[in-house]
Structure 1
């Protein structure tokens, strides 16, 4: 990213004729050519997610509800509600099937 020397806004790229590329400021008349600019790509590392339902001891105290598992069609599941979006949006409910063979996890927004 390049920033304007006069007003500090982020510069935009304007393709030129041939191989000449230049940066320009959208709010003021500042322009600079992109000669010998270093292009650096940053590789992002995916964050490891913590499981919603962790450990077998935690399941002893988790509340259950009557709902149908989409995988095995069992009629009961553990659930946990969390506010993962803005406060004016409804809570997200996470489920884990009570069938020990299935243990499928899903969510409803």
Structure 2
């Protein structure tokens, strides 16, 4: 998607014969397309811990009996977050209590 440098609206593509151009519906801006146009943007995927609030989010949470799937430690910290609509149950996120592991997983 390209945006108009004048007014900021989304540019559309107009084709007519052998001419193709980007144009703005709001202002008179036009840009002739001389060659194939390709622009790719790759986004960096966030880590689960970044989405949950980072290391500070785990400071004042309770622990419960839950087996870590990585190291099989018997206790884990947990927090509940509403990630879907209100009529769906909350998602429970776990973090292993073992200081050498700290593996994170969730229960939907």
TM-score (norm 2): 0.57
Distance 1:47 1:72 in 2: 26
The aligned residue for residue 4 of structure 2 is none
The aligned residue for residue 63 of structure 2 is 64
**Which residues of structure 1 form unaligned runs of 5+?**
2-9, 12-22, 24-30
Calculate the aligned-residue CA RMSD, in Å. 3.2
The aligned residue for residue 55 of structure 2 is 54
1:43 and 2:79 aligned: no
Give the greater-gyration-radius structure (CA): 1
May I ask how many residue pairs the two structures share in their alignment?
A: 82
71 and 58 in structure 1: CA distance in 2 versus 1, 3 angstrom threshold: closer
Q: Name whichever of 46-55 and 64-73 sits farther off.
A: 46-55
Deviation at 1:58, TM superposition (A): 4.4
Greater than 3 Å deviation, 4+ residue runs: 31-38
Deviation at 1:39, TM superposition (A): 2.6
Q: Name whichever of 80-89 and 68-77 sits farther off.
A: 80-89
Structure 2 counterpart SS, 1:65: strand
Structure 2 counterpart SS, 1:102: coil
Distance 1:33 1:63 in 2: 67
5 Å-filtered alignment, 1:66-105, equals 66-105=65-104
Distance 2:18 2:64 in 1: 61
